[in-house]
Amino acid sequence: MSNYHIKHLEEYFQVYRKSVRHPEKFWEEIAEEHFLWRKPWDKVLEWDFTKPEVKWFQGAKLNITENCIDKHLFSHGDDTAIIFEPNNPDEEALHISYYELHKRVCKFANVLKSKGIKKGDRVCIYLPMIPELSVAMLACARIGAIHSIVFAGFSSSALATRILDSDCKMVITSDGSYRGAKTIDLKSIVDAALEKCPGVENVLVAKRIDSDIKLKEGRDEWLQPLLDEAEEDCKPEMMDAEDPLFILYTSGSTGKPKGMMHTCGGYMVYTAYTFKNVFNYRTGDVYWCTADIGWITGHSYIIYGPLANCATTVMFEGVPSYPDFGRFWDIVEKHKVNQFYTAPTAIRALAKENIEYIETHDLSSLKVLGSVGEPINEEAWHWYNDNVGKKNCPIVDTWWQTETGGIMISPLPHSTPTIPTYATLPLPGIQPALMDEEGNELEGYQVQGKLCIKFPWPGMARTVWGDHERYKDTYFSAYKNKYFSGDGALRDNVGYYRITGRADDVVIVSGHNLGTAPIEDAINEHQAVAESAIVGYPHEVKGNALYGYVILKEAGASRKHENVRKEINQLITEHIGPIAKLNKIQFVSGLPKTRSGKIMRRILRKIASNDTDSLGDTSTLLNPEVVEEIIENSLNK
């Protein structure tokens, strides 16, 4: 029996039981059999959730890029590692072999070294979905620099916050990017961010668009000439299993974004193992995940997981609607994609379009479909199953988080019978627990509570960069000796899990996690705004959309509401990015508050969702009368 590639349900149960009874043995066998270690570990696992401290494969030495690239060169060097599909379908796709990837990563790594980047330095990568992005992250990993990739849709101030928080010495960016019919001037966003970041010594600029940008002398350089000059070989830096691999920021319900730190050994083992099993990947398959590498899904399941398995992974620069809504299906047909992994928001958007966009394409190569980022609603699930999978491809609804590093709860194709809206069963090694309001674990079936994990797994983040207390407070303080995910879930009568949504003030809009606090901070900067509260409400395509309740100052009350609305969204775009724009803005005279002054978002959420019958007892509020007024003028009635 192989732990590594599960083929049927019975085998899953066997492997799962073993993984829970002897977790260390279980992970040790996987780590030993499938990876290249330069020195073995002294100890498989050491952990203490009260500190919290988790160490996997302590004492071992490795480099993740040797596992993702070098290891495959001898027998698979000519196989395609990455298929780059450009935004413009008329531009030719690029097939990068493992051999070519090795050369590119080594050259890039040598450029980084020549700029003084060393093991442990932080490098910020702010790039669109072009090959340089994959190469840059792997080049960092090659020399032990810690990459911090910032999604290239974030604004200059969001970028600056992230650069400052992890004290990055270098930024890697491009002159611009293509997204559908639009061209975006990325470099000027970087320039604006860097006005606030004196610690950045070098900016390397990849050329992507036809532009005439200015480079700042002494700081900025074009990347290509440096690569042309660089040596083709670069010895991988030997890393401790617990050395940091990367930082990736995720929104919290309060305060600034949290830089989740992942380490080399455990993350590699976990993403590789989960990739192989969840997508049932076989040698020669072409796998495509539509996420952006700027999010954890892209880190783990476009790059590290697939490459560690010597897979062919597709990287798409564009958007699903360009040049038309058939683009995804066009790509599936063109590259004969076998596994396709996307988000419910994309599925819902495509489901609204003419079915001909699908019917005119041959999707017969597809074997497995995946979903990630938010709960997939039943309608979207069926549309995906019927029209994309032709009822012939298992759908893996994968629940996980930036913090977990890899997929935690998911069906396994051909093993786990699927039910729409259920993420189903925990992967081997994952021990979920549902907790009630009093902090007790709910045993048995047909229970609903807060979703926790009670035993460490190799892919988990080890800390919040620079703020271990925050890591402890956010994830390990709500329930003793457990990791708290921030999500709610139920376990049904056969033990299947269904994720019911966030239990905090994070709203998932089109699959992107958005903390409400930073959005409120942005709005409150508007001169006319006194106070604001943001909540999410269900939205047909985005899953959730944002609804803002805004109190205007006396002086602002006479201003045209339409103008203020525009300016508010402008501010949000500047501070966070267009993804955080509000769909609805209601001006109110007050916000419902508890006597301790905490805004009752629960009530606002209900009003925004037009679910006002069950508001509960509002009489204990500081200002119950305001609730009536808000309902009366609600924009979602």
Distance of closest approach, residue 373 Cβ to ligand 6R9, in angstroms? 4
Question: Of 344 and 456, which CB lies nearer to ligand 6R9 in the complex structure?
Answer: 344
Q: How far apart are CA 309 and CA 271, in angstroms?
A: 10
Question: Of 161 and 485, which CB lies nearer to ligand 6R9 in the complex structure?
Answer: 485
Question: Of 508 and 627, which CB lies nearer to ligand 6R9 in the complex structure?
Answer: 508
> From the CB of residue 342, how many other CB atoms can be counted at a distance below 10 Å?
23
DSSP letter for each residue of 278-300: HTT--TT-EEEE-S-TTSHHHII
Distance of closest approach, residue 429 Cβ to ligand 6R9, in angstroms? 17
Cβ 430 vs Cβ 453: under 8 Å: yes
| DSSP, res 579 | G
| Number of residues binding to ligand 6R9, judged by CB under 6 A | 23
Q: Which two tokens stand for residue 424?
A: 């189903």
Distance of closest approach, residue 351 Cβ to ligand 6R9, in angstroms? 17
Interaction with ligand 6R9 in 463-492: which residues (CB under 6 A)? Answer: 485-487
Question: What would the x/- binding string for ligand 6R9 be over residues 263 to 282, using CB under 6 A?
Answer: --------------------
Interaction with ligand 6R9 in 233-262: which residues (CB under 6 A)? Answer: 250
Distance of closest approach, residue 149 Cβ to ligand 6R9, in angstroms? 13
Q: Where are the beta strands (DSSP E) in 317-418?
A: 339-342, 368-372, 395-398
Contact residues for 452 (Cβ-Cβ < 8 A; gap 6+): 432, 433, 434, 435, 478, 479, 482, 483, 484, 485
- Asked if 513 is part of the footprint of ligand 6R9 (rule: CB under 6 A), the reply reads yes
Question: Of 399 and 455, which CB lies nearer to ligand 6R9 in the complex structure?
Answer: 399
Distance of closest approach, residue 294 Cβ to ligand 6R9, in angstroms? 11
Cβ 313 vs Cβ 343: under 8 Å: no
Among 103, 502, 542, 601, binds ligand 6R9 (CB under 6 A): 502
Question: Of 249 and 549, which CB lies nearer to ligand 6R9 in the complex structure?
Answer: 249
Question: Of 134 and 402, which CB lies nearer to ligand 6R9 in the complex structure?
Answer: 402
- Asked if 508 is part of the footprint of ligand 6R9 (rule: CB under 6 A), the reply reads yes
Question: Of 236 and 405, which CB lies nearer to ligand 6R9 in the complex structure?
Answer: 405
Q: Which two tokens stand for residue 613?
A: 């019958």
Question: Of 326 and 373, which CB lies nearer to ligand 6R9 in the complex structure?
Answer: 373
Q: How far apart are CA 12 and CA 24, in angstroms?
A: 18
Distance of closest approach, residue 404 Cβ to ligand 6R9, in angstroms? 8
- Asked if 202 is part of the footprint of ligand 6R9 (rule: CB under 6 A), the reply reads no
Question: Of 384 and 400, which CB lies nearer to ligand 6R9 in the complex structure?
Answer: 400
- Asked if 297 is part of the footprint of ligand 6R9 (rule: CB under 6 A), the reply reads yes
What are the CA-CA distances from residue 201 to residues 171, 176, 194, 594 (Å)?
A: 8, 21, 10, 48
Tokens 């072999």 belong to 97
Distance of closest approach, residue 151 Cβ to ligand 6R9, in angstroms? 10
Distance of closest approach, residue 512 Cβ to ligand 6R9, in angstroms? 7
Distance of closest approach, residue 461 Cβ to ligand 6R9, in angstroms? 10
Q: Which long-range contacts (CB under 8 A, 24 or more apart) does 43-52 make?
A: 45/456, 47/456, 49/456, 49/476, 49/481, 49/482, 49/483, 50/476, 50/480, 50/481, 51/472, 52/471, 52/472, 52/475, 52/476
Q: How far apart are CA 210 and CA 44, in angstroms?
A: 51
Distance of closest approach, residue 84 Cβ to ligand 6R9, in angstroms? 23
Question: What would the x/- binding string for ligand 6R9 be over residues 364 to 403, using CB under 6 A?
Answer: -------xxxxx---------------------xxxxxx-
- Asked if 296 is part of the footprint of ligand 6R9 (rule: CB under 6 A), the reply reads yes
Question: Of 148 and 250, which CB lies nearer to ligand 6R9 in the complex structure?
Answer: 250
Q: Which long-range contacts (CB under 8 A, 24 or more apart) does 57-60 make?
A: 57/31, 57/241, 57/242, 57/265, 57/266, 57/269, 57/458, 58/240, 58/241, 58/242, 59/240, 59/241, 60/240, 60/241, 60/265
Q: How far apart are CA 468 and CA 461, in angstroms?
A: 11
| Binding positions for ligand 6R9, rule: CB under 6 A | 250, 295-297, 371-375, 397-402, 423, 485-487, 499, 502, 508, 513
